[in-house]
Each structure stands twice: as C-alpha cells, then as structure tokens.
A and B are shown apart, each in its own frame.
Chain A
Amino acid sequence: MSKNLKINGKDHTIDLPDEVPLLWALRDELSLTGTKFGCGVAACGACTVHIDGEAVRSCQIQIADVWGDVTTIEGLGTPAALHTIQKAWIDHQVAQCGYCQSGQIMQAAALLRENPTPSDTDIDDAMMGNLCRCGTYPRIRAAIKTAAAALNEEV
C-alpha cells in the first residue's frame, strides 16, 4: 500500500491505496495544491504534471503506475525563482481566475521542451486538452511564443 515517489526532486512515501490517482496524492496527502482537479476524466487538463518531463493528466494515473520523477507547478518555479515560462505568463498577464493555469503552464513547458519553436498549429495541438473557462487562450498563445523566444535565447 505504500509507494515511494520522487516529486520535485524530493522523495516521498505515500500511504494510500494503489489505485488512488496521483492528483489526489499530491493534493490531499502532500498538500501540493498547485495541481488542480477540474473533471477527473482527462477532459480539462487542470491536473497536468510531468513524469520524466512528459505532460500527463495526474487524475488518470494511479500512484502504483507512476513510472518516473514527478514535477508539479511548485517544482517548475517559485515566486522567488520564476521559470521563464512563468515570467512570460506574467508579461502577458495571462491568468484570470487562474484555476486552469498550473495545468496550462505545465502543458506549455512540455511542449517547449520537445519543440522549441512551435507553430500556431503545434500550439493548438499541444494545448487543446487544456480548458480555460475564463477564455485566456489568446494570451496563453502569446505567452508561449514569448517564452519560446526567451528560452531559445537562454540556450
């Protein structure tokens, strides 16, 4: 019943039934509440985290099946040490209610890692699983482009 997970570079032992989704281990067991619950059926992307750098829906992955190191929004950057993508989000003042934004940012981070110069279609394809009820899509698109440019300059 207990499982060892590496999350944001730290080892954690989680004492929950195997089938509990990663999302709910993060939120309720570890109080990593930056990752959000929106639908529970892989339809909204609010719960997006990385496993070994790949964007996954944490509401769909049982803790027993987690195959690698987990990174959540808290591990991407912090208010004191913002990630380039988070800075781009601030530049474009993307968030409204903000509830979907952890998932949006984690999804965008995975996109930019795989594809440093995404076209509009690439952005559509990567981001279409992430809902935003406030309708921040135009600014998300702009922020991804700014982040891409900034990341390319960094390397």
Chain B
Amino acid sequence: MASVGKIARRTFLFGAVAIAGGVAFGVYQVRKTPPNPLKPGEGETALNPFVMVDDQGVVIVAPRAEMGQGTRTTLAALVAEELDVAWEDIRVIHGPPAKAYYNSAMFGEALPNKGYDISDFQHAVGETLGQVGKLFDLQVTGGSTAMKDGFERMRIAGATARELLKAAAVNQLGVDAATLRTEAGMVIAPDGTTLPYTALASATTELSPPTIVLRPATEWKYLGKSMPRVDMVEKVTGTAEFCVDVRLPGMKFASVRRNPHLGGEMRRINGDAALNMPGVERVVELPDGFAVVANNTWLAIQALDAVEVEWGPSPLPATMDEMHAMVEAAFDAEPNSAMRDDGDVTTIPDSATVIEAEYTVPNLSHATMEPMGATALVDSDGLHIWTASQGPTFVRARCAELANLDPSQVDVETPYLGGGFGRRGELDFSEIATRVALAMPGTPVQVTWSREEDMTHDFYRPLVKARYRGAVEDGQAVMLDARIAGPSAARQALVRWMGLPSSGPDKVHVEGAFNQPYGIPNQRVTGHLAELDVPIGFWRSVGNSANAFFHESFLDEMARAADRDPLDFRIELAEREHAPSAGVLKAVKEMSGWTGETPQGVGRGVAMTYSFGTPVAQVIEITDEDGYIRLRKAWMACDIGVVLDPSIIEAQMFGGMIYGLSAAINEEITFTDGAVDQLNFPDYEPLRMHNTPAFEVKILKTNRHMGGAGEPGTPPAAPALANAVFDLTGERARELPLNKRFDFV
C-alpha cells in the first residue's frame, strides 16, 4: 500500500472553480494543476492530492488527523460517493504536510460575526476568506471544521478522479463517455465490458482536468448513512498504530522531565547516577529539562528520578489566590471586546427585577488517553518524525528550524491520535522528540511522556470568571449584561504556533456568550483580558466550554427570577433569533417528557449552546442516592444541517457531553509555586462506566449551513448539570468543579 514515505513534499494547490451557475448546480471546472504532493511509488498513480490508485485499488488520502472523531471515515465517504468504490475496498492514509491540504473552514470561523445570523453572502465571504488558510499552510484538524472544509473538496476530488478514469476508458474503448458508468472500482461499458480503475489509472496522467457535476443528495449511497468506520477493525484488535506504537529497527525508548515549576529554568544537571542504571544509554539536556534514553520506556522513566537536577523558580504567581486576583483585576481594566451590544443595558425599568451573579471556572488539562510523545530519527536524508499532531504543517516548519534543515528535508507522519481535544495542536512534544533525535543521529528514538509529565505540562483551559447582571419583567428577560475576564488562549496560541502577536478583539474569549441566539432586547457581552502567563491553549470547544457555563447558568437564574420554566423561557428567546436553536430545545423537551416538575429526590436541568455552527440542547436528570448525586439520564438534540454520518455524529455528541460532564464534576488544575498540583488520574478523575448517564441523542437537519460535530456536545454539559443540581438541591453552583460542594456517586 502507498505510504506517506513515498509522498513528495512539494506544495501545490488543488482547486476547482464553480461554473455554469456555480455551486448551486454543483458544476465545477477543475483547475489545471501542477504536479501533485503525492509522489506515487512503483505501480501507483495519484489522480489528485486525495486519490491514488495502486494495483489493489483506490487509496484515499485524508488531510485531517483521526483522533477519534471519525473524520477519516467521513472524508473517505465523501470521495467514495463520487468515485464509486465499494466500501469494503476503501483504504485511507493520512496526507503529508502540504498546502494542498490547507483547512479552508478555519479562517471562515474567525469572522467577527455570531455565526447563526450570517447571510448566504457572508457565508460565501467566509469561504473565500478560507482561502487565506492556504497562504499560511494551515493544515489543521480542529475547530470542528473537517466536514465543512471537506464537504465540497473531497467530493470534487472523487468526481474528478472518476471522470479522468472514464476519459481513459473512452480512449481505450473508443466509445462515448456518456455511455459509460462506474461501479465498485470499475468503469463499465454499455456492452458489459468492465475496466477496473487499477487498469486505467496510469493512462490518466496525460489527460486534462475534466468538468464535473457533483451528485445531488438524493443520489447519495454512503453520505447520510452510518458507515462502518474504516478504523474500527484495527482499533478493536490492537493493530491500529498510534504514535507510541511506532517500532523501528534499532529504536531506543526515552522519557522526559521538564521543570515542574512552569517557565523556570534548569540550573544544574548531573546524570551520572542515571547512566549507571540498567538499560540507560543517554541523558539528553533540553532547554528546561532533560530526557533519559534507554532500551525500555519503563527503565527510562525510572531513571528520570536518578538524575540530579536543580530547578529554577517559576515566574508564575505562587498561589491560586494571586491568580484569581489577577483575573479579577481584569474586570477593572478597559474591555478588549464588546462583540455584542444590542439596545441599552444601562437603563432598566423600575418595575424590573435585577439579578447579579459571579461565576468561576478552573484551569483544565486535556488528559488525552494517550500521553504526549513522538518518535523521531535524524539521518542523512534529514528528519523523520512520527507525531500525533493536529497541525503537521506547523510541526514541519518548527522542527525544521530546530534541526537547522530545510522543511523539504523533514518528513512528518501522522499515526492515529490517542485523543486530541486541542492538546495535539501544540508543538512541544514534537520539538522534544526532535531535540532528542538530534542528540543521537542515526538512532530512532521514541519519547513517551509519563502521565505525570503530561498532566503537569499541558496548555490548560484558562481560569475564567464572569460577572453577569440581568433584568426580568413580567416573566420576560429585558436585559443581560455579561462581563468575562480571563487570559487569552488565542493570543498565546498564535504566538506559539505562528509567531504572530495579535491585537484587537478576541472572539474566542467570548464565544459561547456573545453569539448565543437569544433575543433579549438589551444585551451586551464584553471581554476583559487578564495578564496571566499560565500556559493555556484550546480545550475541546475552547471559549465555549467556559462561557456556556456562565451564560446558561445565568439564563436559568433569570428564568427562576422571572418565575418561568427554564426550558420554555429559552425556547421563547431562541425563537426570536434562530429557529434551529429553538428547535433543539423543543426536541429535548419532547424527548425527556419535560413538564417542569420533578418528583422529590429527582432534579432536571437544561442548557443550550450554539457553537461551531451547531446548536446543541441537553436535558440531564439526576437523582439523590443517600446524599450522593447520580447522573441518571441525558437527552441531547443537535441541529447540524447536513448529516453526513449519523452514527459518528451521535458518538461525538455523547462523547463531547461526557467530556464536559467529567470536567464539570471532578476536574480542576491548580498551581503551587507555578507547579501543577494534580499528577495523575486519581487527582483528576473523569467519568467512568458506573457514573456516566444513559443517553438519547437526536440529530436534526434544519440548519441552513453545515455545523461541526466534534466539539458542540461539550459546552452545554456543565450548565445543564449545574442547573439540575439547583433543581435537586435548591443550591446554585457558580463555581466548577461541582465536587467542591456536592458529592457525586
């Protein structure tokens, strides 16, 4: 099978322009393309950057990393839908870092609009702006964008390949193209002659790009159906290759330790004692720590303790109290953004009831199931790195710089990711493996972080606070004024990934609050950025995860103050702004048989968040079990517009909610003298089988634009649960995690 090792690193653009009425009719003229980034091996032909044919059939090249979200399967289905390949014959590989695989949807997401309210024109502007992605080599898996980005591109790739194969068959058979059809990897002539793609592919290389027409949804065979995931058999037999599973001849195993006091230096190191330990071969110094290289990962981890080292202090504030004070101080400074400012929030009618609340959410770690790590080899060709990255083009650029190589001398392979959740967009684990490999040229080295190293050296979800003020009158919400304070994850990440300092309003900091589709006439959301240098990053659903807790908890408080049912209160407000958002609320109302009343010992809460283009509503039911709270059942509804694979979307929805509930109940990262206090799962306890609720998920498709699936399940989880806790106990939880005040089963 074709491997990425055989793929050239030349960048190139693959595009198609809509013609003859454009997108609406699905007719495209494929641009004449320069040579492809895929450099086929013996007996292989690359028809475009996404489709290769070898002697066994079609290989689909997925431009996005598979981290559990099912992207490989649906990207393959998009191609196969047009290319007519039998499902069981599909093989998928991850593409190399290349401009051809830029993420066009990512920049569209950065537009300063609310998302749900955009016109078709703005949507088109977003798509055009998406082209900027290719200038930056933005090959990123994230922002729940893979399907928005791939929906047209992958189908065009499939259709283009099909038409080229048909054109080759025309040349061979001398028949009219219109009489040919394609099925299960073959071109079929009217007389029943079959020509397998494998026999035609090599004849396509000289042909001109065709004009293609995309098939309408009514003709889809794969899309819209739950397809067996292409990675499932490997993943249930232990044969799926994750980054830590790469095995190379002569490979050594390493582990890493960096200054636990984040940002502190390494003053002195003596590795002599470690070098005397069994199996240990090298101690490699890093800028803020060291790696031990051995013939076994466990021996390397043990030897970390034997290295004598003196750590410098962290520049971070010494206590959590100081960190909280720094976030609070940001409320007093000029706001960074006021991305929503409707009506007038300063004038409140005398007869209105005014309520106020302050909320806090903690730092969180991603805690992917596979700890960080990477495998690297420096040899005469350059650098080879196997790394579970959400951003291979950034990895290539950064590691080339570290190794003093041209990016063309850096090979990046992307095995399966053992969870990503935003953590694997970072470059640190790839950099460390590169540094260790540079110290041992000719020897492949696998660096596996211990769980402790992973948890204490993350880029955390920021500590964020919000102050809300609202007014209700005659059962109606008349005013909402939200102020959100915390450090900017987006600014930090842009500097880390691209070296780009940014200014201007930070949309990510207020997303999930400013852009919620509730028609409250007087409404303002302002963002205040705190100067707190804790390493922070993108945690599944990013700003939405914190802001949804604030916004949806406060909406609940407003509903109670207005003496209204919290679900009906939301439906009414959403109906004024965005029908799909009202729709998901109505769906969970019906699914859960919501009456607004719960028996003694039972509590129910609701929340809805519009994020990544998808509104998601959740109702959660909890019970009191001898003073302990049990999560009994969750109902979820999402409206994703175009449903490409219901089973994968369902899994993302409940998986996203479980991720959010885990954090809401038990997870918190704290710092003492700049060092993380939580080391391993016993200190940072996700939900498990026995305390996860049962689920029902409904997927609606009234949304006009395709929404994301990987993240929108997460944001409403925490507020839905906190609102249920209020319903059960009468106590309002304004701080997470909930286990600080409540006991859970």
Contacts and interface: CB of A to CB of B under 8 A. Distances in A.
A98 B651 CA distance: 13
A97 B419 contact: yes
A138 B692 contact: yes
A54 to B, nearest CB: 19
A61 B367 CA distance: 24
Given A33-B238, A37-B297, A101-B236, A131 B253 contact: no
Contacts of B692: 135, 137-138
B694 A138 contact: yes
A82 to B, nearest CB: 7
A41 interface: yes
A20 B302 CA distance: 10
B226 A39 contact: no
B690 to A, nearest CB: 4
A52 to B, nearest CB: 20
A90 B296 contact: no
Contacts of B299: 16-17, 20, 24
Contacts of A141: 689
A105 B301 CA distance: 27
A28 B369 contact: no
A73 interface: yes
A133 B450 contact: no
Nearest to A16: B296
B706 to A, nearest CB: 21
B638 to A, nearest CB: 15
Contacts, number: 194
Given A39-B451, A41-B451, A97-B417, A28 B370 contact: no
Contact of A73 (B238, B367, B655): B238
Nearest to A39: B451
Interface stretch (B227-235, B379-387, B597-605, B722-730): B227-235
Contacts of B315: none
Contacts of A29: 296
**Which of under 10, 10 to 19, 20 to 34, or 35 or more describes the interface residues of B?**
35 or more
A102 to B, nearest CB: 5
Interface string B115-139: 0000000000000000000000000
Interface string A17-34: 100110111011101111
A130 B658 contact: no
Contact of A95 (B232, B239, B368, B448): B232
A21 B368 contact: no
B247 A39 contact: no
Nearest to A133: B369
Contacts of B242: 33, 36, 98-99
B298 A77 contact: no
Nearest to B658: A135
A41 B680 CA distance: 8
Contacts of B448: 37
B237 A98 contact: no
Contact of A39 (B278, B657, B681, B695): B681
B231 A133 contact: no
Contacts of A73: 237-238
Contacts of B421: 133
Contacts of B648: 93
A56 interface: no
Given A24-B297, A29-B296, A96-B69, A135 B419 contact: no
Interface string B67-83: 11110000000000000
A53 interface: no
Nearest to A45: B688
Contacts of A149: none
Interface of A: 16-17, 20-21, 23-25, 27-29, 31-41, 43-44, 46, 72-74, 77-79, 82, 86, 89-90, 93-102, 105, 123-125, 127-141
9 contacts: A27-B297, A74-B238, A74-B239, A89-B236, A97-B68, A99-B419, A101-B236, A127-B689, A133-B419
Closest 5 CB pairs of A and B: A34-B238, A135-B658, A97-B68, A98-B235, A99-B418
Given A36-B418, A96-B68, 8 more contacts: A28-B253, A36-B242, A40-B301, A98-B235, A124-B689, A127-B688, A135-B658, A138-B694
